[in-house]
A and B are shown apart, each in its own frame.
Chain A
Amino acid sequence: MRAFTYERASSVEAAAKAVASNAETKFIAGGTNLLDLMKLEIETPTHLIDINGLGLDRIESTPEGGLRIGALVRNTDLAAHETVRRDYGLLSRALVAGASGQLRNKATTAGNLLQRTRCPYFYDPNQPCNKRQPGSGCSAIGGFSRQHAVVGVSESCIATHPSDMAIAMRALDAVIETVKADGSRRSVPIADFHRLPGDTPDIETVLERGEFITAVLLPPPIGGNHIYRKVRDRASYAFALVSVGAVIQSDGTGRIAVGGVAHKPWRIEAAEAELPKGARAAAGVLLADAHPTEQNRFKVDLVERTLGAVIAEARG
């Protein structure tokens, strides 16, 4: 870990400006992903700005009937919140499917969105990785790729986004609210927040330098059956091979977002139109442009079967 200087942020604007003006300055919130990467020197900031004390840890109802979730709300607190459990159950389910109790107590909403892939080649500084070192190559393509992406991939990168929470937020049409270094604010629908790898897998979101996530906004609740089904090698404490986050209404229509298969939560509205026809039809559209490797080809079938199980569970 490189030596760094440390300060506690005095305001969102000051923190945003400081990060914008220095490429080696980073925010630290929960730190459960950042410190992991810093120990391995995959992230090497020389200045950290601690943003924990800025009061961004509240969950409030909005006048429209939705929910505004502060960026610094801990994962545990978000999953346990009464309104989330009652009206956005998918979000609770997705959150508690991830990590461990200790990690959920420290990890934050924004940090969860921004966490980086767990591709073992990204994590090994001895291995070529276009995400870590643009232009060096992708070790997973032609290497061990069982856990990697099957859609939205490129010749540069086949890594997945590891978050469960992001899958739920994608299905629930979350909007991410930010403040830029110049003080201007914007709202980014989560669908547009994470990028596909393309030629620049090192650029993972649309955030500009110093742009500070202040909150995530959920629209008013839509009812329905909220199901998060996570398929993994262990019963607990493992990332998804494939996960399906769904809200299914009593008439069989609904929304689905899939995890473990892409560089971002995978949701295609056209696939949802096929839901009443069943899992095969919906999965067919979802993964129409799938380009799996030999080792992760099983994920294509697994998505369809998991979706089938979710539909069956929703029917009761």
Chain B
Amino acid sequence: MQFDTPATTNPIDNLKVVGQPIHRIDGQLKTTGRAMYAYEWHDPNMRYAYGYPVGSAIAKGRITSMDVSAAKRSPGVLAVVTTLDIGERKKGKFNTAKLFGGDEVQHYHQAIAVVVAETFEQARRSRAGQGRLCRGKGCIRPR
């Protein structure tokens, strides 16, 4: 967008709508904690599992293998999905980083696996140290 012509009269600069404290329809819900965000639904007919991401311990490189056996044996764990389980995926038009999948590590703490367990505490516990239990090549440690 080139800002090379006068703005003249337009809805934003007139401050008729933008900039005014308009009562929003979500206002009462958000200020009373009743607005439901994506992962806050508790449907009584469903059982929920909890996922916790595993972050890469290296900043750059390629993963050749991952040992998630300890995580899989951890109490309450239902599944461990690693980036190697998912093949490399095509990036969308507006993505900069690669999507979860494939063997490339592009940045420190990049999600390279997700642990799924029956409770949040079990998922969080089972991923401890997992980021280090992967072998790679051309690995660059962050400093």
Contacts and interface: CB of A to CB of B under 8 A. Distances in A.
Q: Do chains A and B touch in the complex (CB under 8 A)?
A: yes
Contacts of B57: 126
Interface size, A (range): 10 to 19
A139 B143 contact: yes
A126 B131 CA distance: 8
A2 B128 CA distance: 9
A203 interface: no
A41 B121 CA distance: 12
A126 B125 contact: no
Interface string B100-136: 0000000000000000000001001100110110000
B58 to A, nearest CB: 8
B132 A1 contact: no
A143 interface: yes
Contacts, number: 19
Given A126-B57, A139-B143, A1 B121 contact: yes
Given A139-B143, A143-B143, A125 B129 contact: yes
B125 A1 contact: yes
A306 to B, nearest CB: 31
Interface string A1-27: 111000000000000000000000000
Given A125-B129, A126-B131, A126-B132, A1 B143 contact: no
Contact of A2 (B125, B131, B132, B142): B125
A39 interface: yes
A3 B121 CA distance: 9
Interface of A: 1-3, 39, 41, 125-127, 139, 142-143
19 contacts: A1-B121, A1-B124, A1-B125, A2-B125, A3-B75, A3-B121, A3-B125, A39-B124, A41-B128, A41-B129, A125-B129, A126-B57, A126-B131, A126-B132, A126-B142, A127-B142, A139-B143, A142-B143, A143-B143
